[in-house]
């Protein structure tokens, strides 16, 4: 009789900081019912991976699931898989952190389940060959990766019915290819299609291995899957079918496969992830070209023959595609270096490193059909962890004063200005308008500029296409095939910013309305918004001055050379800083201009009742942070967040006109297209005639509420 070996793996993941109700929903719809059915089928063996954060949440909220897992592990039905504790993209974090994260999850599994894990789940299957060495050094024997990775180096479907050995600097790891066929049939298509496929690859010698390993959330959390998998009985039918065919379908663990079956050979893989991820990593225009190219190949029935030559981009280019993601990454790297430097000096850094590792959780570093980077609630805990780590590092280094340095923080070839104290961090980008792009308040801790600009995404074109949930065949479609909007009219919100949103952004505008300015569809008269400013740093005994200046042009009735100088003053231990502006004409006077300064503050929720505006001491009629409005002769604007107990106040030394409006992005998530509040824009401006120097001073103060 022809037989085949099936290895079945489940990966359960939740990012740090995800809402309790979201994780609870996943517990009820996926994690718990899956185990309930599994334990009734003792012949079904499953390798399970849970991210460290999810395990900690389950232990606190539902400790009973630990008892179930212990029983299933003891019986040999379940093997646990390791990985990075906070599920980082291993390739982009320091090697010492790779080792630390994997060992942390290894220790957790041993301590809580008395299980020594030798198989590993690779976050988002992002592969770069150099990760083999630290993985092997942690005692890991096997890793699962998509079969697509293997096809990129020339292997065919018939070559992927087993596992391979790969090596880096003499260190070896076994790598198992995940079957794309099984990823798309389980659980979305009929059980029989999976059985038929397994029968088609069964062999006389029984040495072939088929691997299924994918997200556990597909079993109940993804759209329409709870009804399909549990209420309609798909999972029960699947397990029963495997049992009924157990004479020729041999269900084994990864460790059993390595013990009983020899590897096919040795292989070295290219930098890759799963196919959809490589598509998402492309810039928007190439995203659409790639989609068109792939569709043309499929229409011509050429795709299956040439699939190995069809691939998208490279995961690391998410850091180029989204400067906000790059900022998170480079701040994390900087803190990791500081923490390990302390470690080398004999300092106790375990608690610091754990915060750094938490900030390596991969979700806010990228974006595809999952909210990821676009979701403030996922970025928030990452920045919070980094700021907490920084506070502890400062304490260990006995750092109490204020420092101001210039370095290439974001690794783009130009220097940024970093102002850091025990109260706040203020990071400026002279090459892009001298704008403030990060403002960390340490007593809370919170980054008030943790926001995302509005930019085109390749999938935005789908907003105008008909909604589709189920196909004509009645089968439940993969989330990759769904087009669903969470509200009507989102296509009308597809407005894009031509510069990166931040604070202290300098504008010269003409006959412009609030609506045009908010939509970034107005004409900018000056060339100051995202152009280079010169920098000068003056260190003082009681603080530091940062002077940013640019000689540019204002395009009124005729171009006029204008110099804008903004001078920031910082003091250690002070919860505020001031910025004095000087706007002076260098040519013939007489140009009428409207000069203003843009501030962005992101407090995560635009409609929450506990987050609101106060203008000159009074709440406007609509005080929500996503409200839009005009106020005249304003000298003070406050944004308050009672949930975090923080308030930010911008004060001017002269009355100015205030325009306020929200920055809201339209992004794709598991539940469909959605509007996401990113920040509130405060634009303080004044109309005047450039005949003499215009001066204005702003104070930016942050306070912690009682």
Cα–Cα distance between 325 and 111 in angstroms, integer?
34
Q: Which of 56, 68, 215, 431 is catalytic?
A: 215
Tokens at residue 338, please?
């500081």
Q: How far is CA 110 from CA 53, 81, 82, 328, 395, in A?
A: 16, 11, 10, 32, 33
Q: Residue 547: left if φ>0, alpha if ψ -120 to 50, beta else—which one?
A: beta
CA torsion sign, 60 to 62 to 64 to 70? negative
DSSP for 539-598 reads EETTEEEEEEEEEEEEESSSEEEEEEEEEEEE-TT-SEEEEEEEEEE-S-S-EEEEEEEE
Tokens at residue 596, please?
């203003």
Cα–Cα distance between 241 and 191 in angstroms, integer?
8
DSSP for 191-260 reads HHHHHHHHHHH-BSS---EEEEEEEGGGTTTSTTHHIIIIIS-HHHHHHHHHHHTTTTEEE--HHHHHHH
Cα–Cα distance between 88 and 615 in angstroms, integer?
42
Cα–Cα distance between 459 and 367 in angstroms, integer?
12
415 is catalytic: no
Query: Are the C-beta atoms of 237 and 32 separated by less than 8 Å?
Result: no
What residue has token string 């400067």? 323
Cα–Cα distance between 659 and 632 in angstroms, integer?
9
534-540/505-509 β-pairing: unpaired
Cα–Cα distance between 276 and 270 in angstroms, integer?
16
Q: How far is CA 167 from CA 134, 137, 203, 470, in A?
A: 11, 12, 29, 44
Cα–Cα distance between 453 and 301 in angstroms, integer?
40
Tokens at residue 386, please?
């980094």
Q: Residue 167: left if φ>0, alpha if ψ -120 to 50, beta else—which one?
A: beta
Burial class (CB within 10 angstroms; exposed 0-12, middle 13-18, buried 19+) of 76? exposed
Query: Are the C-beta atoms of 107 and 85 separated by less than 8 Å?
Result: no
Cα–Cα distance between 215 and 234 in angstroms, integer?
16
Return the number of other C-beta atoms located less than 10 Å from residue 346's C-beta. 7
78-80/46-50 β-pairing: parallel
Query: Are the C-beta atoms of 363 and 340 separated by less than 8 Å?
Result: no
Q: Which of 124, 410, 524, 569 is catalytic?
A: 124
Cα–Cα distance between 426 and 576 in angstroms, integer?
11
Query: Are the C-beta atoms of 373 and 364 separated by less than 8 Å?
Result: yes
124 is catalytic: yes
Cα–Cα distance between 439 and 383 in angstroms, integer?
11
538 prior amide bond cis, ω within 30: no
Three-state helix/strand/coil letters over 151-184: HCCCCCHHHCCCCEEEEECCEEEEEEEECHHHHH
Residue 288 in 3-state DSSP? helix
Return the number of other C-beta atoms located less than 10 Å from residue 658's C-beta. 25
**Catalytic residue IDs:** 124, 215
């Amino acid at each position: 009789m022809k037989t085949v070996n099936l290895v079945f793996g489940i990966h359960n993941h939740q990012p740090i900081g995800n809402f309790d109700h979201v994780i609870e929903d996943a517990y009820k719809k996926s994690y718990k019912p899956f185990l309930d059915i599994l334990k009734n089928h003792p012949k079904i063996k499953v390798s399970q991976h849970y991210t460290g954060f999810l395990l900690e949440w389950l232990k606190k909220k539902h400790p009973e699931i630990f008892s179930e897992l212990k029983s299933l592990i003891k019986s040999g039905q379940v093997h646990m898989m390791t990985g990075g504790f906070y599920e980082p993209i291993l390739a982009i974090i320091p090697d010492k952190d790779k080792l630390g994260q994997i060992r942390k999850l290894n220790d957790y599994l041993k301590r809580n389940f008395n299980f020594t894990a030798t198989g590993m789940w690779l976050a988002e299957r992002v592969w770069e060959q150099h990760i083999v060495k630290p993985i092997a050094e942690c005692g890991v024997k096997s890793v699962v990766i998509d079969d697509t990775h293997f096809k990129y180096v020339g292997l065919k479907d018939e070559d992927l019915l087993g596992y391979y050995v790969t090596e880096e600097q003499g260190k070896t790891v076994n790598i198992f290819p995940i079957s794309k066929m099984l990823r798309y049939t389980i659980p979305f298509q009929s059980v029989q299609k999976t059985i038929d496929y397994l029968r088609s690859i069964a062999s006389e010698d029984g040495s072939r291995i088929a691997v299924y390993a994918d997200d556990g959330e597909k079993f109940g959390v993804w759209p329409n899957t709870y009804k399909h998998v549990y209420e309609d009985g798909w999972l029960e039918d699947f397990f029963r079918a495997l049992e009924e065919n157990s004479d020729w379908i041999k269900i084994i663990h990864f460790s059993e496969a390595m013990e009983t079956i020899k590897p096919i050979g040795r292989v070295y893989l290219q930098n890759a992830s799963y196919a959809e991820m490589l598509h998402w990593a492309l810039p928007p225009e190439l995203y659409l070209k790639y989609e068109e190219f792939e569709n043309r190949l499929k229409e011509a029935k050429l795709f299956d023959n040439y699939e190995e030559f069809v691939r998208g981009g490279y995961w690391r280019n998410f850091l180029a595609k989204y400067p906000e993601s790059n900022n998170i990454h480079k701040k994390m790297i900087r803190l990791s270096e500081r923490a390990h430097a302390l470690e080398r000096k004999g300092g106790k850094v375990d608690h610091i490193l754990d915060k750094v590792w938490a900030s390596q959780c991969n979700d806010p570093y990228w974006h595809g059909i999952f909210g990821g980077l676009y979701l403030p609630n996922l970025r928030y805990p990452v920045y919070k962890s980094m700021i907490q780590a920084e506070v502890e590092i400062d304490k260990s280094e006995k750092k109490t004063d204020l420092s101001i340095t210039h370095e290439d923080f974001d690794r783009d070839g130009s220097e940024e200005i970093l102002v850091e104290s025990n109260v706040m961090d203020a990071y400026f980008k002279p090459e892009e308008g001298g704008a403030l792009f990060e403002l960390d308040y340490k007593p809370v801790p919170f980054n008030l500029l943790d926001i995302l600009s509005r930019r085109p995404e390749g999938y935005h074109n789908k907003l105008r296409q008909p909604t589709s949930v189920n196909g004509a065949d009645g089968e439940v479609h993969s989330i990759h095939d769904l087009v669903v909007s969470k509200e009507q009219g989102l296509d009308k919100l597809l407005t894009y910013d031509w510069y990166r949103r931040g604070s202290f952004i300098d504008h010269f505008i003409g006959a412009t309305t609030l609506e045009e300015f908010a939509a970034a569809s107005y004409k900018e008269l000056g060339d100051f918004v995202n152009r280079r400013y010169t920098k000068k740093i003056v260190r003082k005994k009681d603080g530091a001055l940062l002077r940013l200046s640019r000689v540019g042009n204002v395009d009124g009735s005729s171009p006029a050379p204008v110099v804008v100088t903004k001078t920031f003053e910082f003091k250690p231990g002070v919860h505020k800083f001031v910025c004095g502006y000087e706007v002076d004409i260098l040519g013939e006077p007489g140009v009428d201009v409207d000069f203003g300064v843009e501030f962005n503050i992101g407090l995560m929720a635009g409609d929450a009742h506990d987050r609101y505006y106060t203008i000159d001491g009074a709440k406007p009629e609509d005080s929500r942070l996503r409200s839009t409005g005009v106020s005249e002769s304003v000298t003070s604007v406050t944004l308050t967040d009672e949930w975090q107990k923080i308030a930010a106040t911008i004060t001017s030394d002269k009355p100015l006109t205030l325009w306020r409006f929200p920055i809201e992005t339209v992004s794709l998530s598991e539940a469909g297209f959605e509007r996401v509040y990113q920040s509130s824009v405060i634009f303080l401006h004044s109309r005047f005639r450039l005949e003499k120097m215009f001066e204005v001073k702003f104070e930016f103060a942050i306070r912690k509420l009682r």
